[in-house]
Structure 1
Amino acid sequence: MRKGVIILFGTLIILLFGVQCTFLEKHFQDPFAKETYILDLEGIKTRGFIRAAVDNNSTGFYIYRGRRMGYEYELLRDLAKRLGVQLNLVLVSDIDKAFEYLNDGRVDIIAMNLETNPDRESKATFTSPLGKISTVLVSRENESIQSWEDLQSDTVYVRHGAIYKSQLCKIKDSLQVDFMVMESPLHEESLIDQVVEGEIKYTLADQNIALANATYYEGLDIKWKVTDAENVSWVVRDNSPKLLESVNQWLEDKQKQFIPMLYAKYFLNSKNSYFRSTSPFSSLAGNRISVYDELIQEGAGELGWDWRLLASLVYKESRFDTTATSYAGAKGLLQLMPVTLERFGVENPNDPTQSLMGGIRYLRYLDKFWMERVPETNERIKFVLASYNIGHGHVEDAWRLALKYGANTQSWKDVASFLELKSDPEYYRDPIVKSGFAKGHLAVNYVKDVLNIFESYKALVEP
């Protein structure tokens, strides 16, 4: 009796969640829908940054030799520049969760290649199309099919939340073919990996993702088209008409040259795809940022920092180039000025060990300088980074101004607002200001840039 109940229960589970084309799915909606967050373009500009949901895959967003790369990443960076704001990326692997994040305000735009369907259109607004993409069946060459009937009694695994399952349901219903469709929490590329390893026989993917993977997996068959090419778009909240208008105008301006150029770079250049996806210095294949990771980790230990934060600073300063020299004469991995090189014992700034350890000693000095005034570590790091960029005298001036005007001197946000005012005569001529005029907004943006790189490294590289 007990065995019969277990078999019956298992059968029900497969019917409800395996076949995918269920009455429940079509007719029942989420009873816990929440009120949509409200923030349009003006609010985004006031806030100073746009949050975008992106996939972490071999084409969307990843780290390669310390540099942030990806088709969607480069598009978003250009869009943010057009809007005059910073770019904050939020990695979201679950498509349904991306819509949830959009409507509760955790992101402002979903930058994934999404096809429209009634369910998605009920949750948000689609932008103008970025292009057309078809869906393909992915298998090993020895498992390739010649007709849908070849899938009889087999199983196709698809990414949860993607449109693939509804595409296969239509085919099953119209052709009356009996194969199983199983949803998986894994990304398309992880499912392709399982196909390659022989763990599963079939999966579905957008043709561009399949093409990118076929460049470095021999014996992968991607010829069988599930659908003809259909429009794919990004998504914004229903109550963001100004953002939608700006994104659509940007897309129109970029369709002739910029978007096709990026598409060729990420999907049509097989050599580049191979090296990005197999290099130990790519977040897609390894867990390294640069050839100097061990040295950076040692230095970060002396500072008490996450090594990926120090790597972010090195990337911002020199792109890991030991021979880099700025227009002002700063040299080495951490771009130290001649007087700083001498003060902190660096004889050869092109030597990575000397350069990095000299920079570490300087950073320790700055940390000690701010420790009493800003005891909270994470806030103090922002003061240290700004001081590293513009000089601690200018940041101390901003701290004094914050004290004078009753702001919170332990808050980087408050002190940064006065640092930005140091190009205004009313403030830099104040008697309490000792270091005079400064383009403080550049240092504020510098801190944001380093921390944005750090957030990317944290998301994609293990500690």
Structure 2
Amino acid sequence: MLLIVLLAAWVIVRGIQYKSQLQRIQEAGVLTVVSRLGPNTFDMNGDRLDGFEYSLIRQFTDYLNVELKILSENDNAGTYRAIDTGIADLAAAGLTLFKNDRKAYYFSTPYFEVTTQLIYQGDKPASLLDYNGKRIQVIAGSAGERYLIQARQDMKDLTWEAISGNSVELFENLESGEADWALMDSIDYEANSVFFPEARVAFDLHDPTAVVWVSKNTGDSSLIEAVNAFFASEQQNGELKKLKERYFGAHHQLDFVGMNVINRHMQGRLPIYQKAFKAAAEETGLDWRLLAAIGYQESHWRSRAVSPTGVKGLMMLTLDTARDMGVKNRLNAEQSISGGAKYFVRMLKTIPERIQEPDRTWLALAAYNIGYGHLEDARKITQSTGRDPDSWLDVKDYLPLLEKPEIYKYTAHGKARGREPVVYVQNIRRYYDILKWNFPEPGEQLEVPDSLTELPEIKVTIPPTL
């Protein structure tokens, strides 16, 4: 009897003393996450960290009411190593799900899907069988390398170079001729191909694969269960969709000809007006590259452009807008750029103060194109359907309704070409990305550290949202 009592007491004490991984993290007040520096994970944007994975991680730490410590790794192999050694609690680095890893790791529910694509320059391969000694590069530990490992069972002479880095380095090595083929995730190609127009997709190597967050399988799944609950909440409240729109919404493809045209114009036309864009930016506090992106969308940087509707000049100002902005000669490039910048600032200031970036800029661009009154009509329609009038993701779905008589006859400002601002904003976002890539400002690019051991962590303390 005494033995039974002692055993029961031991079980009770053990139960009281045991704390799950999630409990320990919440009590410590810090979640340690490992990720990879890259355009789709996290990187420097001016003097702050940014990126899709980074923003999602921040929302998760807010969800847990803890602070964030983020570790930087170069490749997937290093990312898994940080999980294996216990340096990190969680990996959020665009990792793909592999069933044979289930014994070693816990995988979250998917929040994205990608395929691995073979990227080439020059002659298009029909299949991997066209290998014939081609120099292939792939990110170490990625889905692409795993595919090559499996393919080598049937292609004994297949070789490749696994690099520690990100997809941008693969593009650069293709461009320089250091590699003939590169294997990368479809989302990496989509996000960066516009900067490397000669890099093309040959084919997908497999069906879409789930992208997941990963933690070590220690027999305690409390943390990954919290991740799954968080993802379910983000899906339900629409936040995950908004994040995807924010970071990937502008990643439509410019065709090969279109990209070469803008490259030619950046070399031939932009230098003529770059000083004027910078002067207007300094006057208004805007990014000159955003103003240049607007100018490219409006006129392809042609100072004497004239439309059939009567708008003129590099920033394509109407006569009334030009007068309001103090522009005497719309065909004078400096005056046009200055007037366009001032008008865009007016649109930004007209947008309700509660609306935060980047929606504020995207809505202001739509107002620049279609007029603030028509934008307000679309926002009211958006709100009437239960969607968010402060979200560009929602408003852009309702702008095209301004073309329908059964809708616009009830609006304050009548009919408008509602599809135009949707394309307009999309294009400017892409042109802005291209200009930022080609004309980086100091502090915008962060060198990828050599290894986790040389730069063990990037310390980022984010206070929880109150």
| TM-score normalised over the length of structure 2 | 0.50
Equivalent of residue 152 in structure 1, options 118, 121, 132: 132
Q: Please state whether the residue corresponding to 1:215 is helix, strand or coil.
A: helix
Q: Kindly state the Cα deviation for residue 255 of structure 1 after the two structures are TM-superposed.
A: 2.6
Residue in 2 aligned with 1:50?
A: 31
Give the letter aligned to residue 274 of structure 1: I
* Contact preservation (8 Å) 1:164, 1:204: yes
The 1:193/1:282 distance shift into structure 2, 3 A limit, reads farther
Residue in 2 aligned with 1:316?
A: none
The 1:39/1:154 distance shift into structure 2, 3 A limit, reads farther
Residue in 1 aligned with 2:41?
A: 60
Q: Deviations for 1:72-94, whole angstroms, at most 9, x for unmatched residues?
A: 00000100100001111110113
Q: Please state whether the residue corresponding to 1:98 is helix, strand or coil.
A: helix
Equivalent of residue 74 in structure 2, options 68, 80, 93: 93
Give the letter aligned to residue 45 of structure 2: Y
Residue in 2 aligned with 1:203?
A: 182
Q: What are the ranges of 5 or more consecutive residues in structure 1 without an aligned counterpart?
A: 1-37, 288-308, 313-446, 451-463
Alignment of 1:45-444 (within 5 A): 45-117=26-98, 120-140=101-121, 142-173=122-153, 176=155, 178-239=157-218, 240-255=220-235, 257-270=238-251, 271=430, 273-281=433-441, 285=445
CA-based RMSD of the aligned residues comes to: 2.8
Q: Kindly state the Cα deviation for residue 224 of structure 1 after the two structures are TM-superposed.
A: 1.6
Q: Deviations for 1:242-296, whole angstroms, at most 9, x for unmatched residues?
A: 2111100111121352223222332341415435544423766478xxxxxxxxx
Residues paired across the two proteins, number = 254
Measure, in 1, the Cα distance between the counterparts of 2:124 and 2:110.
31
* Contact preservation (8 Å) 2:46, 2:442: yes
Measure, in 1, the Cα distance between the counterparts of 2:55 and 2:436.
15
| TM-score normalised over the length of structure 1 | 0.50
Q: Please state whether the residue corresponding to 1:143 is helix, strand or coil.
A: coil
* Contact preservation (8 Å) 1:215, 1:274: yes
Q: Please state whether the residue corresponding to 2:195 is helix, strand or coil.
A: coil
* Contact preservation (8 Å) 2:47, 2:444: no
* Contact preservation (8 Å) 2:120, 2:174: yes
Q: Please state whether the residue corresponding to 2:204 is helix, strand or coil.
A: coil
Measure, in 1, the Cα distance between the counterparts of 2:435 and 2:34.
25
Measure, in 1, the Cα distance between the counterparts of 2:131 and 2:35.
32
Measure, in 2, the Cα distance between the counterparts of 1:283 and 1:120.
38
After alignment, is 89-98 or 144-153 more displaced? Answer: 144-153
**Aligned-residue identity in percent:** 19
Q: Deviations for 1:204-226, whole angstroms, at most 9, x for unmatched residues?
A: 11100111110221211024211
* Contact preservation (8 Å) 1:58, 1:277: no
The 1:189/1:121 distance shift into structure 2, 3 A limit, reads farther
Measure, in 2, the Cα distance between the counterparts of 1:202 and 1:220.
9
* Contact preservation (8 Å) 1:143, 1:201: no
Residue in 2 aligned with 1:374?
A: none
The 1:275/1:89 distance shift into structure 2, 3 A limit, reads farther
Measure, in 2, the Cα distance between the counterparts of 1:117 and 1:82.
27
Q: Kindly state the Cα deviation for residue 173 of structure 1 after the two structures are TM-superposed.
A: 3.8
Measure, in 2, the Cα distance between the counterparts of 1:39 and 1:191.
41
* Contact preservation (8 Å) 2:41, 2:94: no
Q: Please state whether the residue corresponding to 1:99 is helix, strand or coil.
A: helix
Moved over 6 A (4+): none
Structure with greater contact order relative to length (CA < 8 Å, sep ≥ 6): 2
* Contact preservation (8 Å) 1:133, 1:206: yes
The 1:57/1:275 distance shift into structure 2, 3 A limit, reads farther
* Contact preservation (8 Å) 1:41, 1:242: yes
Q: Please state whether the residue corresponding to 2:211 is helix, strand or coil.
A: strand
Q: Please state whether the residue corresponding to 1:246 is helix, strand or coil.
A: helix
